[in-house]
Structure 1
Amino acid sequence: MFSKNTTYNFKLMTAFLVLFAICTQFARAQNKAWQAASFEVIKSNYKTFKTTQYAHVFSNSKSNIVRLASELEGLKGVELPLDSYKSGTNAPLKLKFKENVQLLIGVFQEKDNKDYLQIASSDKAKLVLENGVTITGLPPVNVYAVAFAKGTHTILPNAKGLFVLLGAVKSNQNLTFRNAEFPDGKLWNPTFIVEGFSDEKPLFEIIGGENKPVIDEGFPGVDGIQGGFEGGRVVKVGDTYHMFPTERAGEMGVPYYYDRVKTKIGHWTSKDAIHWKRESTILQASGTYAITEDDNPMNDRRAAIWSYMPVFNAKANKWYGYYLAYTVHKEIEPNHSFGRIWRCESTVEGIDGIAGPYKDIGIIMEPGLDSQPWEGRQGVASFFPYRVGDKFYGFYSGAYPFESWKDYPKKSGKGWFVALAESNSLEGPWIRMNKGLEPIKSIHPMFVENPIVSQLPNGIYIAVFDGGPDGWGHHLPNMMGYSLSKDGVNWSEARYWPIETKVDKWWDIMRTPLCLIPEGNDVYTIVYNAIDLKRRFHPTGMVKLKLNREVMDARLKELK
């Protein structure tokens, strides 16, 4: 699993993020949205957008807004073609105003770069927001107000270079200057595709879900689970959902860093994916810290247990469980180290034997002579098997990579990667493909965690996964993502779901999807875990998606 840093760094960063969230909420309360003025685009193909988080501000790009001053929220912007504005070959932008307005122009703060509009404060261009917007992959943005009279105007006809048109406000609106202090958009590198906020039609539409957690602190069944939930899988058998989450149990009287060490795998059931009942404990970790710094048999190699993946083996007529067991070091980053993948089997045959009990069969993947440095100190850090024809493939992962084996066992870098193993059966043996030389970077070059694979109605394989945090010093999508494959081996660039655009956002850090369950009529259920930084307990949520079959078939033709 993704390690959030050593204990003291994690505490410090969490405290900072909580303070930042509180300050941001206060600032938004103090800075109300400016009053919009209407306009229309004249004789061009330029589209408009609502100025809000994830707004797609340039055509032919992946750049989206990830930070936005509250004064700008809800205005109407104009989507400009990125390449032609950078090169100066753009068609004129003509707008018609029904009243006198102040047009809000976002200017990229990169001096002496001819790709970007260069502008200075003057009577015609007044700086109103410093660092007022963050757009992925692009420099920091200052926002200027430029006055235009009622009528039709060509916008900045003599200006050269890219800018962002964020909206228009009434001429009598008092625009008070402030520095919003938002970060450089180039920290979000590479840029990424946000489903529904790009040039392409979305494969899934977010159609709703619960506006609050479906399992939270104080709910029935959570006694003794101090830190909430993270990862695992949900499957549906008949009309019942079965969830096997990692329970961050910890120990009474021990601070929250221990929640992710002494873990359990629980079994929960539900009829609607909203109301859940805890049935049993499937596995319990020891919570014992390592004695040595390396991967040594003296250490307890089942100190923390995570990422339980139940898979039904029709040939054996029983449920198999694949799960991750770690050595845990108290001081070395990451504290979760040298992961091993275990397989267990239900002792009750048939599809209804999902509740177990389960018996351990043995380790199917572990650090060894066929490991590669990219698997890092944390690998093998997850595993999910799936069938393609007569073969089986399994996503396995690594994290905190070593640049070379000379860095073993303590000098690790950053990166959360996946690769494929193959086998002729679910029992194994599982062999790292291509000798594990390279991870799969087509999905995202540095963060893919806990992928779960299924198939869409036209046969496309889809992997849903944790897309990485916007926090803890990282600038990742902070959304659940998905990747597609025609053959189960070659995987497409990720798309990410901005579910907070359709349900109330109760989290700060989005974490792991546990399923993509078809419900009929092209509706799918996702149960997911996320983090509210103001609280110790990590809750569980639920959201519904609608599949667009026309887009699905078009994507199949595009896949290699």
Structure 2
Amino acid sequence: MFSKNNKYNFKLKTAFLALFLLCLQTNAQTAWKPASFEIVKSNYKTFKTAQYAHVFSESKHNIVRLAPELQGLTGIELPLSTTGKNAPLQLKFKEPVQVLVGIYERIDTAEFTPRNAVKLVLENGLTITGLSPINVYAVSYPKGTHTITPIYQPFVILGVIKQNQNLVSRNAEMPDGKLWNPTFIVEGFSDEKPLFEIIGGENKPVIDEGMSGTEGIQGGFEGGRVVKVGDTYHMFPTERAGEIGVDYYYDRVKTRIGHWTSKDAITWKRESTIYQASGTYAVTEDDNPMNDRRAAIWSYMPVFNEKANKWYGYYLAYTVSKEIEPNHSFGRIWRCESTVDGINGIGGPYKDMGIIMEPGLDSQPWEGRQGVASFFPYKVGDKYFGFYSGAYPFNSWADYPKKSGKGWFVALAESKSLEGPWLRMNKGLEPIKTMHPQFVENPIVSQLPNGMYIAIFDGGPDGWGHHLPNMIAYSLSADGINWAEAHYLPIETKVNKWWDIMRTPLCLIPEGNDVYTIVYNAIDLKRRFHPTGMVKVKLNKDVMESKLKELKKE
């Protein structure tokens, strides 16, 4: 038997041993020491080997996962094809080095001469969007100028490190980049000049659990819109209220629409509840009037109608099933009006004016079990268009009501007025896939200073079994109808990343001097409460003008 002191000493020694082993493991996985190099007789660019780094010129492929040993090294941006007319890669070294080469298969190092000059250091060491898992080899070179020509192509140069350090070989177990399909453009990490520069913001949530106004909100926030009236921001988020003592899933069922205000988009005050959902589960599995079709309420979009001189609200009401995915089904879009006239009547109260879009004879199978799943109206000339969405699509109506697939899509409806009637355009009977072929959620439309339309939206999670960009996205349009490929905003490059899954942007508000405010919702998977954040971006007007010219040519 141990005495108390012996027990304490034993525990202490065990703790020190565990710490020592952890340190050994950590040291083996910390960044390797870089060596300087010079690119000779070519215009190849370099990149910092890190998440989102763009690794090939004239392509959209970028890094989404990497072993920590590689973090911060200097790579070289090569063409995806390194054969033919491309200039040879020549590097000059001031000391003996090891060049880290990424190749898309495991190779036989015996094919190299000398054999001891090549070593597999990281199996599955890197994930690049759209490509097979990448193995990383260290290739030794003496001091001097050398032509880098691995016999396996394509390849990527991930860094140059000092020769005299010990490299511990291991399987880094990074996932297959083909899971990220299609590839996507990250703002500031491609050959294109960025339209927006991330200039900073709050390094922690601006509304979080325990703050004033969050009483009674179990699950935090998701979606809605922020507008600015005079010097005051008005936010209408979906509050995942739930109930104390009830499972967290109920946060998504018993929801409500809140009204919050702020003078700086940082410190917020809750003003009122605009709508409260019933939280009542369905009694049948189909779209049946026996079910409560306002069981959950989401995605409130305030829009000022200048002609009527009052605020309109558009919001989503769901039937909710306990048993069938998706549990939120058969969405209906309601329109309401403030009972207080004028721009300052934004706080309401609001009265319902009826349903403007719902599942019906003009619905298409791609709208799926969840559609109509969101709505946002905007004006183009003397007409109005509205993004409406669907999710969990049916291959055909024969699959209704249970057999749904995966996909989050948007299409356009049109109307002569904000009141409606709103009619699905259904040109080609397909959703808009030019923005992203698999995931576009909750777009909010505004116009940039040159009249170009911009939609900012949720770009999809990297989590819950999905491999999507996990960033706020935007798409551009010259005419408000045809929309370009999405670009994604890596705000964590200038703001501390307090989230695991990025969710929905609520606004893109101009503040003057080309600066815009974005308020967004995001998820920390360790917590039930989903907070709200804020970031600032700066518009590059030269890029804006070039983008408009490109869109008009198409």
TM beyond 0.5: yes
- Correspondence for 1:241: 233
Structure 1: stretches of 5+ with no match in the other structure: 1-23, 113-117
Task: Quote the Cα distance in structure 1 between the aligned partners of 2:63 and 2:113.
Answer: 23
SS in 1 for 2:546: helix
Q: CA deviation at 1:232?
A: 0.3
Q: Assess if the C-alpha contact under 8 Å between 2:103 and 2:152 holds in 1.
A: no
Q: CA deviation at 1:111?
A: 8.1
| TM-score, reference length from structure 2 | 0.93
- Correspondence for 1:6: none
Q: CA deviation at 1:29?
A: 7.9
Task: Quote the Cα distance in structure 1 between the aligned partners of 2:318 and 2:67.
Answer: 43
Match of 1:137 among 130, 145, 148: 130
Deviations 1:241-274 (A, max 9, x none): 0000000011110011111111010000000000
Q: CA deviation at 1:493?
A: 0.4
Deviations 1:39-84 (A, max 9, x none): 111110100000110000000100000001111100000000113x
Q: Assess if the C-alpha contact under 8 Å between 2:106 and 2:135 holds in 1.
A: no
- Correspondence for 1:10: none
Q: Assess if the C-alpha contact under 8 Å between 1:28 and 1:70 holds in 2.
A: no
Structure 1 pair 91–547 and aligned structure 2 pair: CA distance change class (3 A): same
- Correspondence for 1:257: 249
Q: CA deviation at 1:413?
A: 0.1
- Correspondence for 2:17: none
SS in 2 for 1:475: coil
Q: Any residues of structure 2 matched to 1:415-434 within 5 Å, and which?
A: 415-434=407-426
Match of 1:61 among 35, 56, 59: 59
Q: Assess if the C-alpha contact under 8 Å between 2:453 and 2:479 holds in 1.
A: yes
Higher relative contact order (CA 8 A, sep 6+): 1
Task: Quote the Cα distance in structure 1 between the aligned partners of 2:291 and 2:114.
Answer: 63
Moved more, 125-134 or 28-37: 28-37
Task: Quote the Cα distance in structure 2 between the aligned partners of 1:250 and 1:403.
Answer: 33
Aligned residue identity for 1:349: D
SS in 1 for 2:443: strand
SS in 1 for 2:116: coil
Structure 1 pair 111–137 and aligned structure 2 pair: CA distance change class (3 A): farther
Deviations 1:155-196 (A, max 9, x none): 12x625210100011111111111111111011110001100
Aligned residue identity for 2:258: G
Task: Quote the Cα distance in structure 2 between the aligned partners of 1:304 and 1:121.
Answer: 67
Deviations 1:316-374 (A, max 9, x none): 00000000000000010000000000000000000000000000110000000000000
Q: Any residues of structure 2 matched to 1:141-180 within 5 Å, and which?
A: 141-156=134-149, 159-180=151-172
Structure 1 pair 152–119 and aligned structure 2 pair: CA distance change class (3 A): closer
Aligned residue identity for 2:349: P
Does 1:509 pair with 2:501?
yes
Aligned residue identity for 2:474: Y
Q: CA deviation at 1:30?
A: 6.5
SS in 2 for 1:470: coil
Q: Any residues of structure 2 matched to 1:69-218 within 5 Å, and which?
A: 69-83=67-81, 85=82, 87-109=83-105, 122-156=115-149, 159-218=151-210
Q: CA deviation at 1:536?
A: 0.5
Task: Quote the Cα distance in structure 1 between the aligned partners of 2:347 and 2:295.
Answer: 24
Structure 1 pair 109–371 and aligned structure 2 pair: CA distance change class (3 A): same
Q: Assess if the C-alpha contact under 8 Å between 1:100 and 1:171 holds in 2.
A: yes
Larger radius of gyration: 2
SS in 2 for 1:518: strand
Q: Any residues of structure 2 matched to 1:208-357 within 5 Å, and which?
A: 208-357=200-349
SS in 1 for 2:317: strand
Task: Quote the Cα distance in structure 2 between the aligned partners of 1:49 and 1:544.
Answer: 25
Moved more, 545-554 or 430-439: 430-439
SS in 1 for 2:35: coil
Task: Quote the Cα distance in structure 1 between the aligned partners of 2:126 and 2:23.
Answer: 16
Q: Assess if the C-alpha contact under 8 Å between 2:475 and 2:486 holds in 1.
A: yes
Deviations 1:215-234 (A, max 9, x none): 11111110111100000000
Structure 1 pair 120–301 and aligned structure 2 pair: CA distance change class (3 A): farther
Task: Quote the Cα distance in structure 2 between the aligned partners of 1:361 and 1:120.
Answer: 78
**RMSD value, Cα:** 1.8
- Correspondence for 1:42: 40
SS in 1 for 2:227: strand
Structure 2: stretches of 5+ with no match in the other structure: 1-21
Q: CA deviation at 1:90?
A: 2.6
Aligned residue identity for 2:89: L
Q: Assess if the C-alpha contact under 8 Å between 1:88 and 1:161 holds in 2.
A: no
Q: Assess if the C-alpha contact under 8 Å between 1:371 and 1:436 holds in 2.
A: no
Deviations 1:536-559 (A, max 9, x none): 010100000000000000000000
Structure 1 pair 27–536 and aligned structure 2 pair: CA distance change class (3 A): farther
Aligned residue identity for 1:101: V
Task: Quote the Cα distance in structure 2 between the aligned partners of 1:25 and 1:271.
Answer: 47
Task: Quote the Cα distance in structure 2 between the aligned partners of 1:536 and 1:441.
Answer: 33
| TM-score, reference length from structure 1 | 0.92
SS in 2 for 1:504: coil
Q: Assess if the C-alpha contact under 8 Å between 2:407 and 2:439 holds in 1.
A: yes
Q: Assess if the C-alpha contact under 8 Å between 1:121 and 1:127 holds in 2.
A: no
- Correspondence for 1:358: 350
Aligned residue identity for 1:148: Y
Q: Assess if the C-alpha contact under 8 Å between 1:384 and 1:394 holds in 2.
A: yes
Task: Quote the Cα distance in structure 1 between the aligned partners of 2:152 and 2:86.
Answer: 10
Structure 1 pair 389–27 and aligned structure 2 pair: CA distance change class (3 A): farther
Does 1:463 pair with 2:472?
no
Deviations 1:438-463 (A, max 9, x none): 10000000100000000000000000
Task: Quote the Cα distance in structure 2 between the aligned partners of 1:399 and 1:30.
Answer: 45
Structure 1 pair 110–451 and aligned structure 2 pair: CA distance change class (3 A): farther
Task: Quote the Cα distance in structure 1 between the aligned partners of 2:356 and 2:106.
Answer: 52
